[in-house]
Structure 1
Amino acid sequence: MFIIPLEKAIDWKRPPLVTLLLILGCAAILFGGQHYENRKYAAQFDFYFASSLPHLELPRYATMLNDEEEDIDPESLQALLNTDYRQLDEPRQYFLQGLLLHMQNNARFMARLHDGKIVTADNAEFGDWQVQRKRFDALTFQPVNKMYGFTPAEHKPLTFLTHMFLHGDTGHLIGNMLFLFLVGFTVEMALGSALYLLCYVLTGLAAVGLFWAVNPASEVPLVGASGAIAGLMGLYAGIFGLRRIRFFYSLLFYFDYVRAPALIMLPAWLANESYHMLTMPDSNVAFIAHIGGLLSGGLLAALLQRFGSANIDTAYLDAAKRDEDKQQRYRQAMQFLGALDIPKAQKLFQELHAEYPNDRDILWQLYHALKHDPGSADFYRILVEILSLNDNDTQTLKQLNDAFGYYLKAQPGKMALESTCLHHLAIRFAKYGYPENAERIVLALLRCNPELADLDKTLFAVAVAWRRRANPTRCAEAVALLQKYFPKSHVLIQARLFAKANEF
């Protein structure tokens, strides 16, 4: 069973840096370590299978395995050893490599081999075997996962930490990093990068601690970030608490999306890990470490809620609920507007605009609602706000042009907007095909603030806009105004040249 929360989307303006660095770090360690180890193993295999060691060691090891109920055909093995290793296809090379590594990792067999109890002194090739075995032993090395993975029987202090940055293979890495990405970025945004990293490490230590307590004598190294990631999952469920979130789940061949309180994921995840631990006792997956991570993550979330709530960004956690509430109120306001229940629509849109002042859609709907009362101070205030927008898409500019007409009706004979705002509006009107209002603004500015910078350029833009509208009379009037008010402007020189070229 899979349960994956899908409540949040990443805000790339505020990226989850620690989560991304953890993913990149784990990937770099795996692929960098793999590259290093692959070269080392290639040197080992080349030397080993070019020597006489395979003939002396591998058949004896295969016999020991067969005595322990393994099934390696001696004749097939001998046929492989009698063939040039470099001439074998990849599957048969991999078989021999795997058998060699299996032998090298069998501590009991290797102890007897080095004690001279496998290839004995009465063997005619004993001396040659000793020389070649010594040279081969010099090529052996400790794999990264063996050195820095957590082995309970040895429990070196450093490996309590380092094991959570190691992975067995690419599939292991991808599976862990997918869950880290889906869960980690949300927890990081809610807790902040520093506290998030601390919780990641603490839950990883708790996970490996429980694994050690349950398997104290194990000699198999534990590697992987899954214990720490399980801790983040426990944190996720705990800090969201009873907030309803959307998550994906699958059960056998059935899958669906559902919205439910986040906290129910914690017992669901615990039950899932416990079930797999009991039904898959021989699995290589450290289910007990996952349980340790989930429990410690849930406990940390409870402690943060109780003693460190100031460190939790509740606004971020509540964003989905606020958005749902916003959409519900918006729909209700639109229903009021459609039913011409104007006072209720105005009141609800005003409340929404006060809470979400940057939401353009709400602003325009409030404007439409207030248009039913064009003489009100609220209408004029929103009108001024709309005319101050910097959006340049075609629909918005058309709406702005229409709104400016209402602005002139609301303020007959004067323009109370700041000169710079009016000037910017005139430039946009002229550029995007609305010369009537652009000219009105320029004429008003010529009366009240003729020294405004670049007003001559705007008047020239009005002339060009009239020409595009195939109105040479209005175009000529604009050029005349340009000559009257700005006789020394370099733009006037351009206009005259433009006129001589029959552009006007």
Structure 2
Amino acid sequence: MADRSATPKHLKLPLTPVLSLYALGISMIVLPTEKRFDWKHAPIMLFSIALLNILVFFLYQSADDTKYNNALEAYDRNNLLQSEWPAFQNYLLEENEKELLTGLRQAYSEEYYYDVIEYIVGDDAFYQYILNHEEQLVFDPYRVNDDFPNWKRRRQEVDDYFYSISSFQGGVIPETLNPVTLISYQFLHGDFYHLLGNLFFLIFCGFAVEAALGAWLFLGLYLASGVIGGLLYAVIDLSSQVPLVGASGSISGVMAMYLGIFRLRKIEFFYWIFVFAGYFRAPALLILPFYIGKELLDFYFNPNSGVAFMCHTGGFIGGGLLMAFCYKFKPDLINNEYVEEDQQLPAEQQSLAKIYAHIDHFRFDQALKAIDLHQKEYGEEFELSLLSYHISQALGKTSRLNHLLALIQVRPFSAQQVQQLAKAWEESEPLHENVDVKSSVKLAINILTPDNLTQVETLFNRLHDKQPNDPALIGLAQKLSFLFEKQKNKAKAKHYQAIADQNTLGSL
């Protein structure tokens, strides 16, 4: 769902489609991975589409926040809340939004008026409700010009700002459906993460489709899939005023085209379910009914999710039908040489696939051996070392100390990995006494951030109490002093610098 500060609360986002097992609380992703990216078939059109999406989001949609805030300010400046609040309460009652009404009444009573205004301005259906129930508006009897025409003029200023937001200008609105927005909505997004997720799936699946179809046919079918997705979303409720934005209908079409290109040929898929991941091979088109079925189930069982499931469904159906049309009437348009080209997994990726296959089938001892062999062949990786440690910990193996020591030796490269390492250390407290000073210091330096400062201090003090003159502690003490200095904690900065200086003199 898009951020309310930028878009109305009823905006529909066709989020990137995945297969999900919502009933079990488990998410599952299934993606075709038969083809590997290579520059022999550079996806120029794909990159152009991605770049256009990025430019539209950052150059055009970046003004949406300002437009929305201007609408809120105009509403407040024109004192419209006093006139509309009673009508809005009646509207929520008729819509059976009792829980929301209770919360807004509390906000109103506590004078958090902007919270109430956000809901009123963001609910475009309420404006139509007022026009049909003008008798519910409250006007000041002591002001001659406080009447319905004057209210409508002031409300128009709010609407001018509100409806200038990109989702209303370029999104698909079923009630006012037009051909232009069936194209433009495909290049608009609700927020940055919506854009990022869509671009990932577009590039992941799109390069192979463009290589098989050619740039211009790929563009045509991409846009056509988006049009079909937008149309199916609209025809479900032609009276709806909820705008639809996002490229996921088009991307659903691309995913269906990927499957349609290979038809009943067995191709490779990557899957992820909870903590299990791996690869399997299956006839390509066998997966398409699962994609479509998942969206239809979500449409019926998650009606209030704010996700345009029927847009996904339309995209899948559209992409599949378009590929069937190409094979039937224009098969020469498809690069069969590329489709039939055998692209074996690189040896490193095959090795990784074996690891995840063992985990998927609960063969954890074999997974540990496979991780060890992989890292000996291709070098240490933090994620695999962490996985190895967690498996050994879960199995209660006596070798988990060795796995912890191996994990400590691998340098984390991201903030997330630093926190994962810090958490792994915290959870391994019974093993701490068996970790040597050099490894402990390396760990402390690797996780030394403001968030982990207390944890590193505890570790340092334990080491210093046991071996106060160990030279390995000099660098750690200096780093602690520097970090406390940055935090303007002069007492601790001097304390750790003194320890570093003392150990330096002791080692001379």
Shorter-chain-normalised TM-score: which range? 0.5 to 0.7
73-82 vs 156-165, greater mean Cα deviation: 73-82
Asked whether 1:119 is paired with 2:146, we answer: no
CA 192–136 in structure 1, closer or farther in 2 if over 3 Å, else same: same
**Which whole-Å CA distance do the structure 1 matches of 2:135 and 2:300 have between them?**
43
Alignment match of 1:74 (pick from 94, 105, 122): 105
Amino acid paired to 2:321: L
* Alpha-carbon distance, 1:77 to partner: 0.9
**Which whole-Å CA distance do the structure 2 matches of 1:136 and 1:152 have between them?**
24
Amino acid paired to 1:34: Q
CA 31–111 in structure 1, closer or farther in 2 if over 3 Å, else same: farther
**Which whole-Å CA distance do the structure 2 matches of 1:244 and 1:321 have between them?**
13
1:263 counterpart SS class: helix
Asked whether 1:20 is paired with 2:47, we answer: yes
- Is the Cα–Cα contact under 8 Å of residues 266 and 281 in structure 2 kept in the other structure? yes
Aligned counterpart, 1:167: 189
**Which whole-Å CA distance do the structure 2 matches of 1:77 and 1:59 have between them?**
12
CA 62–301 in structure 1, closer or farther in 2 if over 3 Å, else same: same
Within-5 A mapping of 1:433-448: none
Q: Which runs of 5+ in 1 are unaligned?
A: 83-92, 325-504
1:119 counterpart SS class: coil
| RMSD (CA atoms) | 3.0
249-258 vs 138-147, greater mean Cα deviation: 249-258
- Which has more radius of gyration? 1
**Which whole-Å CA distance do the structure 1 matches of 2:93 and 2:141 have between them?**
23
* Alpha-carbon distance, 1:112 to partner: 5.3
Percent identical: 31
Alignment TM-score, normalising by the size of structure 2? 0.55
TM-superposition CA deviations, 1:353-384 (whole Å, max 9, x none): xxxxxxxxxxxxxxxxxxxxxxxxxxxxxxxx
Asked whether 1:247 is paired with 2:265, we answer: no
Within-5 A mapping of 1:278-293: 278-293=300-315
Aligned counterpart, 1:101: 121
Q: Which runs of 5+ in 2 are unaligned?
A: 1-18, 20-28, 347-508
Q: How many matched pairs?
A: 311
- Is the Cα–Cα contact under 8 Å of residues 205 and 258 in structure 2 kept in the other structure? yes
1:221 counterpart SS class: coil
Amino acid paired to 2:102: D
Alignment match of 2:217 (pick from 182, 195, 203): 195
Within-5 A mapping of 1:25-174: 25-58=52-85, 60-62=87-89, 64-66=91-93, 68=96, 69=98, 70-72=101-103, 74=105, 76-80=107-111, 93=114, 95-103=115-123, 105-111=125-131, 115=134, 117-120=136-139, 123-125=141-143, 127=145, 134-135=153-154, 137-139=156-158, 140-141=160-161, 142=163, 143-174=165-196
**Which whole-Å CA distance do the structure 2 matches of 1:292 and 1:50 have between them?**
43
196-205 vs 125-134, greater mean Cα deviation: 125-134
* Alpha-carbon distance, 1:286 to partner: 2.2
CA 137–274 in structure 1, closer or farther in 2 if over 3 Å, else same: closer
* Alpha-carbon distance, 1:155 to partner: 1.5
CA 208–63 in structure 1, closer or farther in 2 if over 3 Å, else same: closer
* Alpha-carbon distance, 1:287 to partner: 2.0
1:258 counterpart SS class: strand
**Which whole-Å CA distance do the structure 2 matches of 1:116 and 1:279 have between them?**
38
**Which whole-Å CA distance do the structure 1 matches of 2:124 and 2:237 have between them?**
23
Higher relative contact order (CA 8 A, sep 6+): 2
Alignment match of 1:226 (pick from 248, 267, 286): 248
* Alpha-carbon distance, 1:194 to partner: 0.6
- Is the Cα–Cα contact under 8 Å of residues 36 and 343 in structure 2 kept in the other structure? no
Aligned counterpart, 2:360: none
1:222 counterpart SS class: coil
**Which whole-Å CA distance do the structure 1 matches of 2:253 and 2:84 have between them?**
46
Aligned counterpart, 2:260: 238
- Is the Cα–Cα contact under 8 Å of residues 299 and 310 in structure 2 kept in the other structure? yes
* Alpha-carbon distance, 1:63 to partner: 5.5
CA 30–116 in structure 1, closer or farther in 2 if over 3 Å, else same: farther
* Alpha-carbon distance, 1:118 to partner: 0.2
Amino acid paired to 2:137: I
TM-superposition CA deviations, 1:293-326 (whole Å, max 9, x none): 22222222222223322221222222235789xx
Amino acid paired to 1:225: A
Asked whether 1:8 is paired with 2:39, we answer: no
* Alpha-carbon distance, 1:251 to partner: 4.2
Aligned counterpart, 1:320: 342
